[in-house]
């Protein structure tokens, strides 16, 4: 809220635009120049202030005509539960525990049967097929966390 540092100022600038339209599209270097900072500071602001937990979706493209686009999305009611579950997942998780979490989501009507099956298919031992047990559990955790994060908000 305060305008004490550049990151806060840039954050306020972007949010002010987002007050009027649901999305803002910028050229990173232009905004950096506008606020007299290095381009990577824009990434810092986005990574710390425009996260999915706060209801922002960010997309970007490099190369000529590149951009960074920030979109405000509507968060769903289940997000506290999702936070809890993401905490449970941690940085690694077994297939067995994954099944438990997915079943819980299904029972709570957070996802449909179809989604549940997709998630289980994507995270199964057979699919991941890594030799390294540890790596597999970590990867499963990342995939599951990412999927849970996507359940947070509603698409138009």
144 exposure class (CB count in 10 Å sphere: 0-12, 13-18, 19+): buried
Site string for DNA, 18-37 (x = CB under 7 A): --------xxxx-------x
Give the per-residue contact string, 17-46, with its own copies (x = CB under 8 A; - = no). ------------------------------
Is 68 near its own copies (CB under 8 A)? no
* Smallest gap from residue 4 Cβ to DNA (A): 6
Say if CB 70 and CB 57 are below 8 A apart.
yes
CB-based contacts of 147, cutoff 8 Å, min separation 6: 119, 122
CA atoms within 13 A on the CB side of 148: 27
Q: Is 56 left (phi over 0), alpha (psi -120 to 50) or beta?
A: beta
Could you say which of 1, 5, 77, 155 contacts DNA (CB under 7 A)?
Answer: 5
Which residues of this chain interact with its own copies, rule CB under 8 A?
2, 4-5, 7-8, 61, 63-67, 113-115, 117-119, 121-122, 124, 126-130, 139, 142-143, 146-147, 149-150, 154-155
Which residues of this chain interact with DNA, rule CB under 7 A?
4-8, 26-29, 37-44, 46-48, 60-68, 96, 125-126
């Amino acid at each position: 809220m305060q305008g004490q540092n550049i990151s806060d100022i840039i954050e306020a600038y972007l949010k002010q635009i987002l007050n009027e339209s649901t999305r803002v599209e910028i050229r990173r270097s232009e905004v950096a120049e506008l606020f007299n900072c290095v381009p990577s500071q824009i990434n810092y602001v986005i990574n710390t202030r425009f996260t999915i937990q706060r209801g922002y979706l960010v997309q970007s493209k490099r190369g000529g005509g590149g951009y960074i686009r920030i979109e405000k999305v509507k968060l769903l009611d289940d997000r506290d539960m999702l936070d809890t579950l993401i905490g449970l997942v941690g940085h690694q998780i077994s297939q067995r525990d994954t099944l438990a979490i997915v079943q819980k989501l299904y029972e709570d009507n957070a996802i449909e049967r179809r989604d549940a099956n997709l998630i289980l298919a994507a995270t199964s031992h057979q699919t991941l097929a890594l030799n390294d047990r540890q790596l597999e559990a970590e990867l499963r955790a990342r995939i599951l966390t990412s999927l849970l994060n996507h359940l947070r908000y509603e698409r138009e």
